[in-house]
Amino acid sequence: MFQLLPLFLDLAGRRVLLVGGGPVAAAKLRQLLAASADVRGVSPDVCEAIERSGVPFERRAFAPADLDGVWLVVAAATPDVNREVAAAAEARCVFVNAVDDPANATAFLTGVVRRAGVTLAISTSGAAPALTALLREGIDAVLPRDLSAWVAEAGRQRAAWRRDGVPMADRRPLLLEALNALYDRSPRAVGSEDPALHKQDVAAGLQAGPVVTQGITPANAIGHVSLVGAGPGDPGLLTRRAVARLRAADLVLYDALIDRRILKLARHAQRFFVGKRAGRHAMTQQTINAVMIRAARRGRRVVRLKGGDPFVFGRGGEEMLALRDAGVSVDVVPGVTSAIAAPALAGIPVTHRDHSSAFLVVGGHDEEAFADAVHEVVPNGVTIVVLMGVGRRAALAGRLIDRGWAPATPAAIVFDASKPTQEVWNGTLEDLGTGQVEIENNRPGTIVIGEVVALGTRAGRGQEKRAHHVSR
């Protein structure tokens, strides 16, 4: 794919043509007027919002002559009209922004963040406008509140560098030192008694970019982090304390598989996805820790939202230690772990006095770690619940069979537990081990192995599928 050249255009007083008169055109008109452009429009029909704007609009079809004297044209009409505009503009060397129509565009309006004289623009070349909007919100949230102080200090430093002839290559470290000095002179954030921490904080923010959250708040601001379990998915299974933490949050960092209805409870918070999908991390664990620490030091109420329970394969223990080592106030709000909820919702008791007196919860993402965990377990002696193991189900089942587990041991996979799409596959350990069972590897599921699985099958709970009927 070709690379775009990012530019910022000075449209003040310059003629811009807007083709189209609907709500989409009205939204683009607001952006153009904010840039002080001299906008003229043409469209057979014009919505009320455009009429109220007072911008001159001719109620007719587009004509190539409309491009005379124009610096930029925004086409927010039908694809056929946009194509006509693009052809006429190409002949006149005029750039075209065709709204949600990249095939007819040579310029792309971006998601824009404006703060304290700083303008940041994000573009996906017109391919994913919704993603552009999400990235804009994310970047806006991680800019410091005191960005205006950064801009003012950078301006002062630049004047001095130009006066003294400081080479360009030497300016960045000098600016970093000057910005660090701002925090040496400022009231310290709660939990940071060592001035060196402020230098580390600002330095890390400048070097890592999105790691910066908000600027230093007054010294009486008290931040806090809550590690909150979101349960298996259904918002109805949240604890009352979890709901309260979300409603009071300023910032929510959430993992994959969190139901959107749960996120809506954090109405006043900035919300960012930091989880892992298909093996790809949205943000490293070190960066997540840094974001939570900085946000709390700046007086923000942070919720680290995790599926299930934060202390069951959720790295909650690591995050708690990192926060406490940094002197940040933290509490834990337990959640209903899918290790128990998923079997229960499928009618499978993980313990039963006639079949199993214990159960073992194991992560399935690492085959060797799984083998170590089950090595000392007496074959068919307990119920085994495997999280994050659907993609490695054959290898894990093979390990158990090699260990002496009976191939006919009942097995189940509970998909999308507690959600309307919940589905249960039932079979045997041997079925899992053959690798011939067609199950979508990336679909989240909880594997249950043991005699108790037969109880769920007998109860007829869930949308059950037998091994030979499963399809993608």
Point out the residues that are catalytic.
Answer: 255, 276
What angle in degrees, to the nearest 10, is found between the helix axes of 393-403 and 367-374? 30
Amino acid at 102: P
**How many Å apart are CA 368 and CA 460, to the nearest integer?**
34
Q: Residue 162, class by beta-carbon neighbours within 10 Å (0-12 exposed, 13-18 middle, 19+ buried)?
A: exposed
In DSSP terms, which residues pair with 111 in a beta bridge?
A: 122
Write the CB contacts of 271 (distance below 8 Å, at least 6 apart in sequence). 251, 252, 254, 263
Cβ-Cβ contacts under 8 Å for 411 (sequence gap 6 or more): 397, 426, 427, 428, 429, 431, 432, 447, 448, 449, 453
Nearest to 369 by CA among 415, 313, 330: 313
Helix orientation angle between 147-164 and 171-185, rounded to the nearest 10 degrees: 130
- The per-residue DSSP string of 26-90 comes to HHHHHHHHHTT-EEEEE-SS--HHHHHHT--EE-S---GGGGTT-SEEEE-S-HHHHHHHHHHHH
Contact (Cβ atoms closer than 8 angstroms) between residue 308 and residue 385 = no
The total of other beta-carbon atoms located within 10 Å of residue 442's CB is: 10
The answer to whether 268 and 250 have CB atoms below 8 angstroms apart is yes
Structure tokens at 106: 């040579």
CB atoms within 10 A of CB 2: 5
Q: Are 327 and 430 in contact (CB under 8 A)?
A: no
CA distance 85 to 104: 8
